[in-house]
Amino acid sequence: MLKVENLHVSVEGKPILKGLTLAVNSGEFHVIMGPNGSGKSTLALTIAGHPKYSVEGGRILFDDEDITALGPHERARRGIMLAFQHPPEVEGVRIIEFLQQVLVETKGVDPVEAYDMIIKKAEELWFKEEDLHRHLNVGFSGGERKRLEILQALLIEPKLLILDEPDSGVDVDSLSVISRKIEELHQRGTAVLLITHYGRILGHLDREKLRAHVMKDGRIVKTGSGELVDRIENEGFGRIFEEVEG
């Protein structure tokens, strides 16, 4: 479904991704780990189509279509969704109105029906109706922001959900509901590409079915199964990098 081929990306002239290749098939669950600055977020934002990240080489295919030059909204409409690491505050834009418009425009849902859908799903992520009249992420805690990202994923039901550190800055209770919902989406058929620092969010997931990748300096240097996650947890990245380089 998603094919990233020999991707080179720079930000403001500085090369970040240096020939990254990755394939995610329908319904798969991939985890990307790597130290700070290895290019994990750049990969996520480039797939989502952030204009600041310029593709210098390689391409991104989605369902066999080259989407490298498409705008973020066009990628979203093809079924890609990024849950942000740092969802920005958007002053003045109410959550409910925004989500309603998204559902009406991208899924053709009737506005009244959309409203009910949103309220119902929001409860599952501990948002009350009045919370949804707040402005997008404005004054939200880390946990609230991340739960709101997951709420959007549940409503949009993307083919591919990219999660950029859904576990960072999150309290324990939020983390547990977030991982359950990710699992739920995955079971309903959404392919997941999860970027994380730690393995703790994976506690709830079946390691057997995971594909794990380790990034370093703009490339994927090692790919393996769920055990790789445990090794990183226990041994850190150092040992793995030594192996790869050695």
Partner 1 sequence: MTETITLSDAKVIIENQIEELARRNREPEWMTRIRYKALEAFEKAPLNDLVISEEELLHFIAKPEIEGIPENIESLDDLPPEMKALLDRLGINEVEQKYIAGLAVQTDTGVIYNEFLKEWEKKGLMVLPTEEAVRKYPDIVKQHFLKLFRADENKLTAYHTAVWNGGIFLYVKEGLKVPFPLHLFFLIQESALAQAPHIIMIAEKNTEFHLIEGCTAPILVKHSLHLDMTEAYLHDGAKVQLTVLQNWPEYVHTRPMTRAKIGKGARFINTTVGLGTGRSNIANPKYWVDENGYVELNGIILGQKDWFVDLGGEMYLQGERAAGINASKAVIMDESTVITRGVIRAEAPKTKGHISCDALLMSDRAVMETYPGLVSKVDDAELSHEAAIGKIRDEELFYLMSRGLDEEKATQLIVKGFLEPMLRDIPMEFLVEIRKIIELAVSGGM
Binding residues (CB under 8 A) for partner 1: these are 48-52, 71-73, 75-77, 81-82, 84, 87-94, 97-98, 101-102, 105-106, 135-136, 152, 156
Structure tokens at 206: 């079946």
Distance CA 179, CA 203 (A): 9
| Nearer of residues 84 and 127 to partner 1, judged by Cβ | 84
Rounded to a whole number of angstroms, the minimum distance from the CB of residue 65 to partner 1 is 16
Q: Indicate the Cα dihedral angle 14, 17, 18, 19, nearest 10°.
A: -150
Smaller CB separation from partner 1, 155 or 215:
155
CB of 147 to partner 1, least distance (A): 16
Nearer to partner 1, 63 or 206 (CB): 63
Smallest gap from residue 22 Cβ to partner 1 (A): 19
Q: Name the strand (E) or helix (H) holding 244.
A: helix 237-245
Report the distance separating Cα 140 and Cα 121, nearest Å. 19
Q: How far is the CB of 88 from partner 1 (least distance, A)?
A: 4
- Dihedral over alpha carbons 10, 194, 221, 209 (to 10 degrees): -150
All residues at 6 or more sequence positions from 182 whose CB lies less than 8 Å from its CB, including other chains: 150, 161, 163, 166, 192, 194, 201, 205
CB of 230 to partner 1, least distance (A): 32
Helix H or strand E encompassing 80? strand 80-83
Closest distance to partner 1 from the beta carbon of 140 (Å): 13
Q: What is the DSSP letter of 125?
A: T
Q: Which CB atom, from 77 or from 204, has the smaller least distance to partner 1?
A: 77
Q: Which is nearer to partner 1, 102 or 221 (CB)?
A: 102
Rounded CA separation 166/142 (Å): 10
- Judged by CB, which is closer to partner 1: 98, or 198? 98
